[in-house]
Amino acid sequence: MPAADSGSRRAERFGFRRVSSAEKTRRVRGVFDSVAGRYDLMNDLMSLGAHRLWKKFTLARTGLRPGATALDVAGGTGDLAIGMSRQVGRHGQVLLADINPSMLRLGRRRLLDTGSHANCRAICADAAALPVAPAAFDCVSIGFGLRNVAGKPEALRSMARAIKPGGRLLVLEFSRPALDALRPAYDWYSFAVIPALGRLVAGDADSYRYLVESIRVHPGQEELAAMMREAGFEDVRWHNLSGGIVALHIGFRY
């Protein structure tokens, strides 16, 4: 069986269900086609604005300087890419990549609105097969996107190939609460409140129910760190944010 066909048939988690890799990609595209128009508003509502602090924390750890190069994978509406474009300055370059055309249109519009288009461009690309030159970037980031990727190991290896020696990967993603006492309230909020918000604000409870489920089946802190090491990253560490509800993983290429 050809490798591509084998990959398309491999079982992946789409929320609590198992589907083929190709089917997960198709369904995730449908989710983000549905929620794109209200994506930023829903992020503010669901996190009570905390996602802005999580992204600010991430940007403070890019290590980027004026003239550097950066890649934001699954960058959506461009929060991290816009922040990195300011860090690298007019002599640097940032690439925003996303597999979903609906999200990418919004990202391109925000690059224009914020004046970031001068040193930041956007491309439609699959995280698992990034169409970039090897060792092209000082920093690669992926914020709240890895759990939606079909083929996480392939995506991590693809991002590793794109990083210069001495560069780093930043993975900002929902994770496992570090305190057991947080979990009952967190579960209630996730499964009762977030889908209801999705229905009220975005007219789509099912997509937000999937997004909640995708968090629960995503690797926890230790497991994701091990996956990053297997993909070729060294000195892997993570920071728990908001009690471990979100974690920022950092790995280096030497």
Report domain extents, the chain: 3-178+210-252
Where does the pLDDT of residue 2 fall: very low under 50, low under 70, confident under 90, or very high at 90 and above?
Answer: very low
Output the pTM of the full model: 0.93
Q: Average pLDDT of the chain?
A: 94
Distances (CA, A) of 67 to 75, 173, 247: 21, 27, 28
User: For 230-247, what is the mean pLDDT?
Assistant: 97
CA angle 150, 42, 123 (to 5 degrees): 45
CATH number for domain 3-178+210-252, candidates 3.40.50.300, 3.40.50.800, 3.40.50.150, 3.40.980.10: 3.40.50.150
Residue 70 φ then ψ, to 5°: -145, 155
What residue has token string 């930023």? 40
Dist CA 198 CA 18 (whole Å): 23
Give the tens place of pLDDT for each residue, 120-139: 999 999 999 999 999 999 99
DSSP structural state of residue 129 = G
pLDDT at 9: 59
3 pLDDT above the threshold of 80: no
pLDDT at 26: 93
Where does the pLDDT of residue 254 fall: very low under 50, low under 70, confident under 90, or very high at 90 and above?
Answer: very high
Dist CA 174 CA 189 (whole Å): 14
Give the tens place of pLDDT for each residue, 172-202: 999 999 988 889 999 999 999 999 999 999 9
4, burial (CB in 10 Å: exposed 0-12, middle 13-18, buried 19+): exposed
The answer to whether the CB of 29 falls within 8 A of the CB of 104 is no
pLDDT at 10: 73
pLDDT at 182: 87
Give the tens place of pLDDT for each residue, 108-118: 999 999 999 99
HSE at residue 210, side-chain half, CA atoms within 13 A, is 18
pLDDT at 6: 45
pLDDT at 11: 87
